[in-house]
Structure 1
Amino acid sequence: MTEVTTRMVETTDGLTLAVYEQGPAEAPTIVLVHGYPDNHSVWDGVAQMLAERFRVVTYDVRGTGESGVPDSTAGYRLAQLSADFAAVLDAVSPDAPVHVAAHDWGSIQTWESVTDPALSSRIASYVSISGPDLGMATAWLRERAHLGSSLRQLAHSWYVFAFQVPLLPEAMVRSGLLARFVGGGPRPTKDQVNGVELYRANFLGKLLRPEPRTTDVPVLVIAPRGDDYVTVPLQTEAPRAYVTSLTTRVIEGGHWVVATEPELIAAEIEGFIEKEGVR
């Protein structure tokens, strides 16, 4: 097991993010971004494998783990999450582009950076797992050509609308209902409660005004066939009109495949980086 070092990085709104690094200091850097309701540790298995050949960076997204907690819902908006990502890059790789892999909400928020012209030049490659860009997803859901697929995805996404209801998701967390619904092992109560604000801060705005953006960053979308929350068609089809260099891979596994199949995910990430010749 490689040694893991920790540093604290300040955000543009005065919070601090706990950032973890391992692997050879001189190697290419890869940043792994976690989703809800996890913290950086969901990547532990993948990170240990990648750290044999990469400098691997993970961090606790705001509101989780050892990172600071915003004092309002606005503190969880995508623009701020993208600014947090930029702050991490400034700290760990200010002079060279990084590879990025992200899961669930980590993937949703990282699309915001990948499609931002001010940040995309700092990203050498992007692997998205079980987390679509909200603008691209909304545009895809509105297309009439695949109404059945859109309705199936909406059925999978019922919890997104439940999370907009005041007090309901917090009650689900404290009763243990959310943990039984989510699965994947125990998580701190505070991380589960705080992360609900991600849904409240971003979904309704994107549903009303999707405004998807394009990117030239090479992107690999990994779509687990058994994902209970994000369907394969949404993951693989929604980005097609917006990503210049898109590769899609449908794999066996469930939503938390990053934790349950770390060898597979590490191999997919490394293989994509080598294939694109951007190492």
Structure 2
Amino acid sequence: MDSRFVDLNGRPFFVRTWGSEDNPPLLMLHGFPEYGGAWSDLAPFLADRFYCIAPDQRGYGQSWAPDGVENYTLSHLVADMAALISTLKSPVNVLGHDWGASVAYGLAMFRGQLVDRLIVANGVHPAPFQRALAAGKAQTRASQYINRLRAPDAAAALSEDNFSKLEHFFRHGMGLDWLTEDRMVKYRDEWARPGRLDAMLNWYRASPLVVAKPGKPQTDIPELPINRLQVPCPHLLLWGDEDIALLPESTEGLETFAPNLTRVSIPGTDHWLHHEKPDLVANEIFNWLK
């Protein structure tokens, strides 16, 4: 693994890479509450075939973390990664997990000329996800934490007692044998960088997604335009079926927006499938590319 700072639109971003620059580029986009180093389990399995590029995204790790919720809208996050792609041999393959999947979808939908193939691991397209959040059913109940993370005092609460509440959130209901104490030290170090945790939470605050109350469907949400939110490139959706944060209903109807979609389940995994069974995840990516 190599690492360096790169200048993107005049701002510093920290980037990790694995593999040879002669290989096809694979942009790897992490989610919450991780950082670019979260790909260190999976990238070695992919590095023989890809040049793996894993940035700390805006507000995370060692990258630029501006103040203000307005700096974390999807358009800004996509612009960052579009600038990074401009330094590579494009179009590129893009892999996104969790919030990183939102940026990956944004690139595929709005900067489609930059994306050759899209891979998402337990992440959601905005239209099916908003539909599920508004329905008042299981996904609505599972996503109530979003409102708590949007609270003004969320960073202060989550950082108390050496980030014990954030660690509990991280571990809640998931199979986290991979999350050793040594690894937790690295996560805490990243979360403790000045201003980082509040910046990370600004991703939630800047999102226009509306979370209904359980049992009370929200019916006044405008239908998102299908033609504007199309994924034109080949798309692989990898899924850990034991995920309790993102449920199957969060991807119902995805084929409407991604007509060239392949769905693959990774058995015995949950939201953190890229840590739990990185070898199987890599094999499914290779099989799909064939």
Q: TM-score, length-normalised on structure 2? A: 0.82
Aligned to 1:133: 125
Structure 2 unaligned blocks of 5 or more: 213-220
| 1:193 Cα deviation after fit | 3.6
Give the one of 140, 158, 168 matched to 1:172: 158
| 1:79 Cα deviation after fit | 0.5
Distance 1:70 1:192 in 2: 12
Greater than 3 Å deviation, 4+ residue runs: 139-142, 190-193, 203-210
Distance 1:238 1:169 in 2: 34
Structure 1 residues 205 and 152: CA distance shift in structure 2, 3 A: closer
**Greater displacement, 237-246 / 165-174:** 165-174
| 1:247 Cα deviation after fit | 0.9
Distance 1:134 1:269 in 2: 23
| 1:265 Cα deviation after fit | 1.2
| 1:47 Cα deviation after fit | 0.7
Give the one of 219, 224, 227 matched to 1:211: 224
% same residue:
25
Give the one of 197, 208, 218 matched to 2:202: 197
Distance 1:168 1:141 in 2: 21
Describe the superposition over 1:153-211 as per-residue Cα deviations: whole angstroms up to 9, x where unpaired.
11111111112222035313324112112125422334444211100001447995563
Q: How well do the aligned residues superpose, as a CA RMSD in angstroms?
A: 2.1
Match status 1:62 vs 2:70? no
Distance 2:238 2:197 in 1: 25
Task: Report how many aligned residue pairs link the two structures.
Answer: 259
Give the one of 253, 257, 260 matched to 1:245: 260
SS state of the match for residue 85, structure 2? helix
Distance 2:47 2:242 in 1: 28
Distance 1:67 1:204 in 2: 25
- Contact 1:21–1:57, Cα closer than 8 Å, also in 2: yes
Match status 1:89 vs 2:85? yes
Describe the superposition over 1:42-85 as per-residue Cα deviations: whole angstroms up to 9, x where unpaired.
11121111111211111111111221111211111100110011
Structure 1 unaligned blocks of 5 or more: 275-279
Give the one of 95, 114, 129 matched to 1:101: 95
Aligned to 1:9: 6
Distance 1:240 1:199 in 2: 26
Match status 1:152 vs 2:155? no
Describe the superposition over 1:248-269 as per-residue Cα deviations: whole angstroms up to 9, x where unpaired.
1122211111112111111122
| 1:28 Cα deviation after fit | 1.2
Distance 2:8 2:23 in 1: 26
